[in-house]
Structure 1
Amino acid sequence: MTTWIDVINFVRTRYEVLEESEDWLRFRLEGPRDRTQQVTVHHLAELDGGSWLEISSPVGWADKVDLRRFLELAGGSAVGGAAVVDGVALLKHTVPLEDLSIQVEFERPLKAVVARADAFEHELTGTDEF
């Protein structure tokens, strides 16, 4: 059985952790062309009877992004859904924690969400703010 502590340890050994609390980690991944992308993983306990991980990566400030285009881009992606939280447009994906294969069911969607969020940020804002 995979635990939140297992996920924390996995992230700490592979990525630059920028900030963390009891229920979430924010860290940075390297991308192409000297770009970086922030990502946050939240531990969502006991939703629908089990624990879940929410992976989210920012695309830009919601008031500076063409939100319709963002929704179109997100709608064409197999991983992630569009959201706005605290004024930030995010690409988000949720996976169940129990019996999670960290390499396949966490790291693959993590990298997919981050790559797409970075590509969306580049297309929609032309910047690398996040």
Structure 2
Amino acid sequence: MLQDPPRPVRYAGRMSTWRDLVQYVSEEYEVISSEGDEVRILFNFEAFNEDDERTQVVIIAREVLDAKHEWVQIASPVGLADKVDLKAVLTEIGHSSIACGAAIMGEHVVLRHSLPLKDLDIHEFTDPLELLAGTADQIEEMFFGGDNY
């Protein structure tokens, strides 16, 4: 079973807007790009284990449902879809993950999780983010044999 250690959160509160969430992410994570409704971070596992130099790219995006409900999607690429046994990947995710699903976006297999932004508690964001990043990193290593994302 895939497991991630807890990460201390210095902020306690609710995110009420996309701008609030982006500000929090900018303060707490290594932002590698930010444009409009999308922020990309480099999730560093060394924060949990000083000997672990692996990282994982995580995309945080604002989505609008029915032109009125704001959601936050957390996604992380793990590899190219045409380079893997998709049934094996989906089976592993089904057995080892509670906080994300898998999809093909463009050419990539990604793990993703979505949350409504309205009244979002910070732990409702950080806990799935950490679980998704850890699961994505382990799936990437297990099925693609590297640390490319």
Q: TM-score with structure 2 length normalisation?
A: 0.82
Task: Specify which structure has the higher proportion of helix.
Answer: 1
Match of 1:16 in 2: 30
SS class of match (2:128) = helix
Q: How does 1:1-130 map to 2 (within 5 A)?
A: 2-31=16-45, 33-47=52-66, 49-76=68-95, 77-102=97-122, 104-130=123-149
CA positional deviation for 1:46: 3.6
CA positional deviation for 1:63: 1.5
- Give the Cα–Cα distance (whole angstroms) in 1 for the partners of residues 69 and 124 of structure 2: 16
In structure 2, give the amino acid aligned to 1:7: L
- Over the aligned positions, Cα root-mean-square deviation in angstroms equals 1.4
CA positional deviation for 1:49: 4.4
Structure 2 unaligned blocks of 5 or more: 1-14
Q: TM-score with structure 1 length normalisation?
A: 0.93
Query: Which moved further from structure 2: 48-57 or 106-115?
Result: 48-57
- Give the Cα–Cα distance (whole angstroms) in 1 for the partners of residues 84 and 27 of structure 2: 33
Percent of aligned pairs sharing the same letter: 37
SS class of match (2:120) = coil
Structure 1 unaligned blocks of 5 or more: none
In structure 1, give the amino acid aligned to 2:87: R
